[in-house]
Structure 1
């Protein structure tokens, strides 16, 4: 009854199932692995954050470039405050406001972006306390430069004195000196006046963010695809077997073989012969 499985049509179906099911299982396992890796990195980041609070501050040069291991570490730098910019449309909790970012010209000449704090409302320079004068030593949580995919980043046209993204690439055309490809945010107790401290964000690719749960959703989708392929194979197999059984019992008419056209036996009419004799 199942001899139809050896037909060319079913060879193609079987090959698709044999290749498709392992591929779906592999992709589902890969997405699940990515989700588990994000969970582990989130837990590790929380443990590291607690450890970093107890760690002594390290010189900025010792923590660069910023990695997942150094992100959030307390970095210290010495210099003079220079250019100040406002970073609008930033949320702290459930309130919208703006960051106050001031560039610290270090002893080597490069500038370190320092987020001195957050204020509610629209970005207004008149509400911002002036930075300290003279040579200062700042200590804050080290952060990697933001990119286009950072949540809450405003990248549209902004007025003078405002910045959409905290990165060396966005600052290169605003200041006439080199900028570190990193920034720090001052912790509680080191801000001025009404400025509220900005907590350090988790590094990119870590934490239980939307992308992590997307990986979990893709995991379920790939496993569902694998089950659907197996289900459709059994369904096609059952339909074919029932059709073969009905055909064997005579419940279905056999499909007649297509007849080849027979050559025509019709002869061409003979040409008419003249009945008139010679000389007619």
Structure 2
């Protein structure tokens, strides 16, 4: 193993340390992708469990509007009550099928209770001539309405303002402050059905995606990148050792006595895994190329290398 003693020098140990740090970073990035995949799978499981389930009466689901948890998302709830149209708001910059528009929020007074919950009636496209307002804004049904909605957790506040009558996000606490009366601020309902149905209604938001994404393949790629760092370090060491062997063979073929010193300060040993005959042949070829006196064999080898694209 004396052929590879140079690997113990500070230079090569430094490169090994860099490869190790790179591999550790790749492991953390790979784990980050695994965590993202697990979060996607949890969301898919919630959709499968809740999205198409039978509706739950409001009396059994009131706490979901008061303090919705992640596992409660997409729970289907039945409500009866009346829309408070005068206090409706538009939520700006909401994406839907590749377009940006608004979502229509309307307070809903639940019959038989003092509760007011927020219902997201759906998405509205922007006006083609003025993106600061929706193209149309249909009114909700008047009088008593039977409603089926899916629970969504309230959104956090964002550091962005909005024009009068609009919200930057579905931050129910901010909405309550604007209205001046109490709301259930833990979650809101995404409208699925309402009866009586109006002639014109906002567009219903699309069913959430069931795709887990490429996180698993990305995590494998990061782990592979970390391994490639060590492979590259080992390949560079092998090439370095091979080039030193050729230098020794060239010195021997020219009749000089090699007095080379290895990178660790010790003598260079001639022992090598490369056959002596091959080392001498390569050394002679290098010397002829340097002097410009190429043999027919050298020219033939060059022609073959060119044809093979080496």
TM-score if structure 2 supplies the norm length?
Answer: 0.60
User: Which residue does the alignment assign to 1:184?
Assistant: 189
- Count residues with an aligned counterpart: 241
Whole-angstrom CA distance in 2 between matches of 1:146 and 1:41: 19
Q: 1:159 aligns with which of 145, 151, 163?
A: 163
Larger gyration radius, structure 1 or structure 2? 1
SS of the counterpart of 2:107?
Answer: strand
- Once the two structures are superposed, the pairs formed by residues 1-280 of structure 1 within 5 Å of their partners are 1-18=3-20, 20-21=22-23, 23=24, 26-27=27-28, 29-49=30-50, 51-52=52-53, 54-59=54-59, 60-64=61-65, 65-77=67-79, 80-82=82-84, 83-90=87-94, 92-93=96-97, 97-105=101-109, 109=114, 111-122=116-127, 123=133, 127-133=137-143, 138-147=147-156, 157-179=161-183, 180-190=185-195, 191-196=197-202, 198-199=204-205, 202=208, 208=211, 212-213=213-214, 215-216=215-216, 218-219=218-219, 221-249=221-249, 251=251, 254=260
**For structure 1, which runs of at least 5 residues remain unmatched after alignment?**
150-154, 256-280
Task: State the Cα distance separating 1:9 from its structure 2 match.
Answer: 3.3
1:136-185 CA deviation, whole Å, 9 max, x = no partner? 66441111123479xxxxx8654322223212244144221233131112
User: Which residue does the alignment assign to 1:265?
Assistant: none
Cα RMSD (Å): 3.8
Whose helix fraction is larger, Structure 1's or Structure 2's?
A: 2
Question: Is 2:147–2:193's contact at 8 Å kept on the other side of the alignment?
Answer: no
Whole-angstrom CA distance in 2 between matches of 1:11 and 1:127: 68
SS of the counterpart of 2:167?
Answer: coil
1:31-88 CA deviation, whole Å, 9 max, x = no partner? 4523542453354234224542x24334332435222321111234565543112334
Whole-angstrom CA distance in 1 between matches of 2:95 and 2:240: 61
Whole-angstrom CA distance in 2 between matches of 1:200 and 1:58: 24
TM-score if structure 1 supplies the norm length?
Answer: 0.65
Question: Is 1:103–1:113's contact at 8 Å kept on the other side of the alignment?
Answer: yes
Task: State the Cα distance separating 1:118 from its structure 2 match.
Answer: 4.2
**For structure 2, which runs of at least 5 residues remain unmatched after alignment?**
128-132, 252-257, 262-310
Whole-angstrom CA distance in 1 between matches of 2:188 and 2:126: 23
Whole-angstrom CA distance in 2 between matches of 1:188 and 1:226: 51
